[in-house]
Amino acid sequence: MAHAQGLHPLTRAAMGLSHWPDDEPTAHARLEGAVVAARIAADATQGGALFAPLAMGGGAALRGGGTPGRRLRSWMDGVEDALRAALRMLDRVEAWEARAVAVTAPLSGRTPARLITVLRDWPMASAPMAEALTGASRATVQRNLAWFEEHDLAREVTGQGRFRFWRAAL
């Protein structure tokens, strides 16, 4: 990798993944290589992301085979697919946030706005997590989450009575 310092971060990431030690063909070793490649690829974001969202592209970036040129093309195509999927998701989150702000406008207190921020920033949140992030009481958070569900702003995803998680209803 020392010889690759002059290459673009996406090319360095593909090279790093391609050269990750194959002497331990376990899922952990492959995952470790994918995480390192995703972090190297993030250097191309100029300080924006901490990693490239490779899994959002269906994993194509991680399945390259054949010649080095074919592996690099597979990597680049997979990264592009992942970035497009991530941008589409960000657009959906932005639209959800605008809708949530409009729907909760008549409510009083700080909790609805803070809960919108929690559901915007986290893919899933539990009531204790939302309680810690909003500074509201557990009862207030649960009452607001129930209200969000009634108004199609949040969805409970576990289907359980305890240890539940919610996500934004995108």
Distance CA 29, CA 86 (A): 25
Contacts of 159 (CB under 8 A, 6+ apart): none
- Judge whether 62 lies within some domain: yes
Q: Are residues 61 and 119 both part of a single domain?
A: no
Q: Are residues 81 and 111 both part of a single domain?
A: no
Taken in order 91, 59, 40, 8, is the CA torsion positive or negative? negative
pLDDT digits (tens, 9 = 90+) for 56-72: 877 777 776 778 788 78
Q: What is the spatial order of strands in the sheet that 125-126 belongs to?
A: 125-126, 165-168, 154-156
Distance CA 155, CA 140 (A): 17
3-state secondary structure of 133: helix
pLDDT digits (tens, 9 = 90+) for 3-20: 777 887 777 777 777 766
Q: What is the pLDDT of residue 96?
A: 98
pLDDT digits (tens, 9 = 90+) for 73-86: 888 888 888 888 98
Q: What is the pTM of this model?
A: 0.74
Q: What is the pLDDT of residue 28?
A: 59
Q: What is the pLDDT of residue 124?
A: 95
44 by Cβ neighbours in 10 Å (0-12 / 13-18 / 19+) ranks as: middle
- Judge whether 125 lies within some domain: yes
Q: Are residues 127 and 73 both part of a single domain?
A: no
CB 74 within 8 A of CB 65: yes
CB 29 within 8 A of CB 50: no
Q: Hey, which residues does 168 pair with through a beta bridge?
A: 154
Q: Hey, which residues does 125 pair with through a beta bridge?
A: 166
Plot region of 66 (φ>0 → left; ψ -120 to 50 → alpha; else → beta):
left
CB 126 within 8 A of CB 157: no
Domain holding 157: CATH number? 1.10.10.10
Regarding predicted confidence, which is higher, 124 or 83?
124
- Judge whether 94 lies within some domain: no
Q: Are residues 78 and 12 both part of a single domain?
A: yes
- Judge whether 93 lies within some domain: no
- Judge whether 152 lies within some domain: yes
- Judge whether 118 lies within some domain: yes
Q: What is the pLDDT of residue 47?
A: 62
Q: Are residues 8 and 80 both part of a single domain?
A: yes
Query: Band of the pLDDT at 95, cuts 50, 70, 90?
Result: very high
- Judge whether 153 lies within some domain: yes
pLDDT digits (tens, 9 = 90+) for 20-70: 665 556 655 666 667 777 777 777 666 666 677 777 877 777 776 778 788
Range of the domain at 11: 2-88
Q: Are residues 84 and 140 both part of a single domain?
A: no
Tally of domains in the chain: 2
